[in-house]
Amino acid sequence: MGKLVINQSLVNASNAESITKLCPFGAISYENGALSISAACKMCKLCAKKSGGVVTYEEEAVAEIDKSLWRGILVYADCQGGTIHKVTLELCGKARELAKVTGHPVYALLIGENAAEQAKELLYYGVDKVFVYDDEAFRDFRIEPYAAAFYDFIEKIKPSSILVGATELGRQLAPRVAARCRSGLTADCTVLEMKENTDLIQIRPAFGGNIMAQIISPATRPQFCTVRYKIFNEPPRASEPSGEIVRMEVTEKMKKSEIEVLETNKKQTDVDISEADVIVAVGRGAQTEALRAQAEELASLLGGMVACTRPLVESNLFDPKRQIGLSGRTVKPKFIICLGISGAVQFAAGMKSSACIVAVNNDSSAPIFDIAHYCVVGDVAEILPRIIKNIKEAKNV
């Protein structure tokens, strides 16, 4: 890591004006005779190269870390209401793949009350050890006790890499624990790879999905990342459990919290396109009222759900819960048909793992055709009614 340093003794009104104009992100400002760099800086170092020595880039000394002291790949087991979230099982499968590179064990961490049965279930998914913090203090999710238990585990076991599902709970817990460890956190990873030296390569879209960033943390341990549901495949459940369950000590200090849960109400079930096996997705090319109605009809015939791209949500034509993409939901249906969708990176990242992708678009060079299994070039308004007609005839509807 490095930092930009401003030599204020060299700053004057003349060079300050030219230096502020150098920054393409508008991160440099000049006030009261001094230059300053804001958090908008993307560390492109253009100012250091062209400011004539007024701004310099200095490498910071990084302390060496003994990576041999950190061993194991940990999956945080998201378990609320007595049910293990399926993203946990997906991460167990991925952790097992990563562990093959380093020969490290795979751990799972389960925090909750009366979690014995859930801990046993994890042993069917390739986990070597399930560490359990079981206490009534963990009945409801309160950030302080959960973070304290998580940090206690890290201090005692020292896992090298930690994978957390990007659920509502995981998105709150992971950054808090990572901050306690003074370690970085890569959110919403789409690809994970492992080096033989135990450095975890965390790949995620950046700059609005225009590039795929590869992030590693060679000088810190543990390495934290979060992953959305449906990014990786859920491994098959083994016929017999393997591994062991380790019960961890829960201290009084660990239970302390400034939060008191007075009442818990079960949330009404929302639309969840992530669970759909069949999806009819519509984009700008199919946003008319007539085409939306036909998309609903097609979804009904196929026993699926209708989803959309971000522009249709921003136009108030669809509920945000039906949006596919980086700022929406990640889906992995058995079949998805994309109607009038160009296939921008942001959308493709949320559905490219689907088993069968059919795309209909009048632009033969549309990016969606790069990931589609079956490509139909033509006007959606002409093709969609024909698809519906053929399905009805096949079903004798």
Q: Using 50, 70 and 90 to split pLDDT, how confident is the model at 209?
A: low
Distance set, CA 156 to CA 83, 151, 226, 271, 301 (Å): 27, 9, 22, 41, 55
Domains, the chain, in order of start with CATH, read 2-59 (3.30.70.20), 67-255 (3.40.50.620), 273-395 (3.40.50.1220)
Q: Which of 139, 73, 72, 70 is nearest to 111 (CA)?
A: 139
- At residue 91, the pLDDT reads 98
Determine the average pLDDT of the residues in 326-355.
92
- At residue 379, the pLDDT reads 94
- At residue 395, the pLDDT reads 85
| Region of residue 178 (phi > 0: left; psi between -120 and 50: alpha; otherwise: beta) | alpha
Q: What is the mean pLDDT of the chain?
A: 92
3-state secondary structure of 180: helix
pLDDT at 208 over 70: no
Q: Using 50, 70 and 90 to split pLDDT, how confident is the model at 1?
A: low
pLDDT in tens, 229-270: 999 999 999 999 999 999 999 999 999 999 888 888 877 767
- At residue 346, the pLDDT reads 85
pLDDT in tens, 169-195: 999 999 999 999 999 899 999 999 999
Determine the average pLDDT of the residues in 380-389.
94
pLDDT at 397 over 90: no
- At residue 60, the pLDDT reads 75
